Amino acid sequence: YLLERPLLRALRGDGPRVLLIDEVDRADEAFEALLLEVLSDFQVSVPELGTVRAETPPVVVITSNRTRGLSDALKRRCLYLHVAPPSLEKERAILERKVPALDGKVAAELCGAAGRLREEPLLKPPGAAETIDWARAVAALRNDGTAESLDCEEIEHTLGCLLKEVEDIERVDDDLLATLLDAADTARAEADP
């Protein structure tokens, strides 16, 4: 028997559907090849069922974290939208919503430092998810809601929340730490009370 998974459900469903294919770059090439038929003809051929066609083509949203390149054939079937990291203000609002125990000025500092770190030529620049992880770690380590400014030691001890490649962590020398602290201080000074 065949289990009807989201791909088949999206094609066989009545009415408008949305199919999310998250992190397609983590799928194998065989799945990527299967998607070519789905994206070009809104159908899939299944030996046990025959060809399943969508009466109403689903809206397909595909995400990629660029862990590997995608085939040209797949890219030709897609519209591309790059989602840039959020602005400092927007990222701060995200942190304040996701990590309410964190002081707002500290949230601004974290966003300023993370934003500055994204300017470095890193293998894996930190995204908003890493900044949230960093904020949670800082809040947990402080555990009293203190509003004290970040310091070098605190950044060094929590860098693993932001940077996921050893080469990126090794790039953070004393000069870069000082630059990150400057960015944090500037963001704190510019933050609304």
Question: How far is residue 189's CA from residue 193's CA, in Å, rounded to a whole number?
Answer: 9
Model confidence pLDDT, tens digit, residues 130-159: 999 999 999 999 887 778 899 999 999 999
- Per the CB < 8 A criterion, the answer to whether 34 and 74 are in contact is no
Lowest mean pLDDT among 19-28, 40-49, 100-109: 40-49
Distances (CA, A) of 103 to 3, 65, 127, 147, 172: 48, 30, 21, 6, 25
Question: How far is residue 102's CA from residue 140's CA, in Å, rounded to a whole number?
Answer: 9
Q: Residue 180 pLDDT > 90, yes or no?
A: yes
In this prediction, residue 82 has a pLDDT band, given cuts at 50, 70 and 90, of: confident
Average pLDDT, the chain: 89
Q: Residue 164 pLDDT > 70, yes or no?
A: yes
Classify each residue of 142-180 as buried b or exposed e, where b means 16 or more C-beta atoms within 10 Å of its C-beta: beeeeeeebeeebbeebbebbbeeeebeeebeeeebebb
pLDDT of 37 reads 86
Strand 50-53 to 43-46 pairing = antiparallel
pLDDT of 193 reads 63
- Which backbone phi and psi does 84 adopt, to 5 degrees? -75, 160
